[in-house]
Amino acid sequence: MDESSYYKGSKEYMNLNECTLLNSFIPNMYSNFYTQALLLSIVLICCQCAAPGSVVLKDHVGTRQNSDFTYKRTALDEEQMKFWYQMDPLQDSVPGISLARMQRFLSNRKGEELIIGIIDSGIDTGNFMLKRFIWTNDRERKSNEVDDDNNGYTDDIYGWNFLGNGTVSIKVAPYALTRMMARLEQKAEGKLLPKDMKNENYWKLKTIFEKEQDKASQAYTSAKNWFDPAKANDIQRSYFERIENQNRYQYNIHYDAHDVIGDDVNDLSDRNYGNPDISPVDDSEAHGTQVASALLSVIASDQKGFNKSEKIKFMTLRAVPDGDEYDKDIALAIRYAVDNGAKVINMSFGKSYSERPDWVHEAIRYAADKDVLLVHAAGNDNENLDLEDYFPSDGQNGIEIAGNMINVGAITRFFNESLASPFSNYGKNEVDIFAPGSDIFVAGLNNKYDYTHGTSLAAPLVSGVAGLIRSYYPELSANQVKRIIIESSLQVNHGVLVPGGKGDEIKPFSELCGSGGILNAYNAMLLAESYANNLIKN
């Protein structure tokens, strides 16, 4: 079967020991194009024998088609495990993103230079794979302490660190709930107004905060009883540091990281803060490097990790601490990325409370006005986001504020009831698509590689595909690219275990996200080309 028939407006089944389907969605708005493709598919199919193992036409053009997948019943070997998320559902019976197939499709095409912004904890610029892809601000002269390009950020060669000032960079920040309670408690010290005392939300937040603070305090007390720095292993040290940070900083209403930085966190116009050091503070801040590594695997490598192209660069915005990010930092980081040329922004972070969601909403709208696509990780709390708040969000009171943001859940490597990652957030209205996010082999700090998991790894896979679409088909808008990625997703029709569900709660996968499907890079690229061709025709 010709690879171009992989997405032809018809659905094709091919035997791989058992029947395996690669699915896609055919938009009604391109019915003429896909009708022609359908006729071509029928001609091709009629030339083949309709015996077991042959290609069989399914359903009709213009409809979302449902799919049943078989899953790989034999264990993946060590090398396959490292790259399972890049595999092909049709050829491998593994729910990867069909990366090699997409790369072959693009091999005779030329893309344009493109910038992807990564808002995270910083990136290890010394990583041997990543360093060639770090964006450089050519308008800025290195380390001359002059804002050469007059963008408001001095010596921003590789991006900007919003978690610092001068030579100081912070690592830990309080949770948003803690910061909200701190302001309310300040009022309570002789300044609490009667209306605040009667505010139901105040008492609700106070109850939640005190419960979480007490749990953190008990955990810290317990940990101090057994923790011995001289005998502890790396896992024990990491656990103790996390518990200690929660108790000393993240649930401490008297600590505010921006007091160290020196800006007014409640004034969005106070932007004269930060520094150009976008590197992680220490070895515990590997998150941003892991995200960049996952993104790199899509845009610049084959399944053995060899370089393919350096036209796409990563702009680094350090704005995500250990704790909850500040809305001011995120809003300004989005605006920085937009103003300095990013066409896609990856945002692998989130929180359950937000002090100034309006600032972030304004930044999202600003990005939409400038035709920039945002890709956001849906979060790892195994919650239904149709029922629970999670920020940043592109919705306000149930209404979408802009059409340029994709919210991404995570899947495993199993084409069965365990497809949805057990930690992943989900939601028919609030989550758009799922992508591989369990057992992802990525770079950490100091050129070390290991497996990790999270929707934080699923989002950059989507960002990578979006970046390639925008590079090879620059005429397509951010909203169109979002639509392409969602509409080209592989539809999953079987039931799956609900993340965080009680016992063996099963729901159709289509109920977990708006698209009802999982990312497929090859399908997305084919649909992008059809969009672009129709723009030319019209």
Q: What pLDDT score was predicted for residue 466?
A: 98
pLDDT tens track for 251-289:
999 999 999 899 999 999 999 899 999 999 988 899 999
Q: Specify the higher pLDDT residue, 305 or 56.
A: 305
Which pLDDT value is given to residue 144?
Answer: 87
Estimate the crossing angle of helix 455-472 against helix 287-299, to 10 degrees.
40
Whole-number mean pLDDT of the chain?
84
Which pairs with CB-CB distance under 8 Å and at least 24 residues apart come from 244-248? Answer: 244/220, 245/172, 245/322, 245/323, 246/216, 246/219, 246/220, 247/216, 247/217, 247/219, 247/220
Per-residue confidence band for 108, with pLDDT thresholds at 50, 70 and 90: confident
pLDDT value at residue 301 = 59
The C-alpha R_g of the chain, in whole angstroms, comes to: 24
The pLDDT value recorded for residue 37 is: 35
Helix (H) or strand (E) holding 190: none
- Predicted pLDDT of residue 535: 85
Tens of pLDDT, residues 290-322: 999 999 999 985 544 334 567 899 999 999 999
Query: What are the DSSP calls for 293-317, one per residue?
Result: HHHHHHHSB-TT--B----EEEEEE
Predicted local confidence at residue 189, as pLDDT: 59
Residues 38-50 have a mean pLDDT of: 30
**Which phi and psi (to 5°) does residue 34 adopt?**
-80, -25
Confidence of residue 30 (pLDDT cuts 50, 70, 90): very low
Indicate the residue type of 285: E
Kindly provide the b/e burial profile for residues 217-253, where b requires at least 16 CB atoms within 10 angstroms of the residue's own CB.
eebbeebeeebeeeeeeeeeeeebeebbbbbebbbbb
Using the Cα atoms of residue 297, residue 302, residue 304 and residue 309 in order, give the sign of their dihedral.
Answer: negative
Give pLDDT tens digits for 456-482: 999 999 999 999 999 999 999 999 999
Is the pLDDT higher at 107 or at 499?
499
Q: What is the mean pLDDT of residues 166-186?
A: 91
Q: How much is the pLDDT for 184?
A: 83
- Who contacts 171 (Cβ-Cβ below 8 Å, separation ≥6)? 163, 281, 282, 284, 285, 321, 322
pLDDT over 90 (residue 339): yes
Report residue 437 as tokens. 């996010």
| Residue corresponding to tokens 């070390």 | 448
Residue range 147-175: average pLDDT?
A: 94
Q: Full-prediction pTM beyond 0.75?
A: yes
Strands (E), 53-113: 56-58
3-state helix, strand, coil in the chain (%, to 5): 40, 15, 45
Higher pLDDT residue, 58 or 493?
493
pLDDT band at 187 (very low <50, low <70, confident <90, very high): low
For CATH 3.40.50.200, the residue range(s) in the chain are 93-169+272-537
Q: Where are the alpha helices (DSSP H) in 198-262?
A: 200-226, 234-245, 257-261
> How far apart (Å, rounded) are the C-alpha atoms in residues 35 and 318?
48
* pLDDT confidence bin for 155, thresholds 50/70/90: very high
Q: Which two tokens stand for residue 283?
A: 């070895």
Find how far residue 269's CA is from the centre of its chain.
28
C-beta of residue 490 within 8 angstroms of C-beta of residue 523 = yes
In tens, the pLDDT along 400-457 reads 999 999 999 999 999 999 999 999 999 999 999 999 999 999 999 999 999 999 999 9
Please tell me the total number of residues recorded for the chain in this structure: 538
Residue 409: both structure tokens together: 């859940």
Token reading at 432: 């758009």
Residue 475, SS3? coil
Residue 330 in this model has a pLDDT that exceeds 80: yes
Residue of 519, 401, 537 whose CA lies nearest to 475? 537
Structure-block tokens of residue 209? 């905060």
Token output for 137: 């601000």
Kindly give the interhelix angle for 176-188 and 200-226, rounded to the nearest 10 degrees: 120
- Whole-number pLDDT of residue 143: 80
Determine the residue type at 517.
G
Confidence of residue 82 (pLDDT cuts 50, 70, 90): very high
With a CB cutoff of 8 Å and minimum separation 6, the contacts of 240 are: 223, 227, 232
Which parts of 24-143 are beta strand (E)?
56-58, 114-120
Provide the 10 A C-beta neighbour count for residue 360. 21
∠ CA 243-226-257 to the nearest 5 degrees? 20
CATH superfamily of 93-169+272-537: Peptidase S8/S53 domain (3.40.50.200)
Q: What percent of the chain has pLDDT over 70?
A: 82
pLDDT band at 199 (very low <50, low <70, confident <90, very high): low
Q: Longest Cα pair distance anywhere in the chain, in angstroms?
A: 85
Indicate the pLDDT class of residue 174, thresholds 50, 70 and 90: very high
Picking from 42, 1, 36, 39, the residue whose alpha carbon sits closest to that of residue 22 is 1
Confidence of residue 62 (pLDDT cuts 50, 70, 90): very low
Q: What are the pLDDT digits (tens) for 484-532?
A: 999 999 999 899 999 998 878 999 999 999 999 999 999 999 999 999 9
What confidence score (pLDDT) does residue 192 get?
Answer: 52
Q: What is the structure's pLDDT at 191?
A: 54
Q: In this predicted structure, what is the pLDDT of residue 538?
A: 61
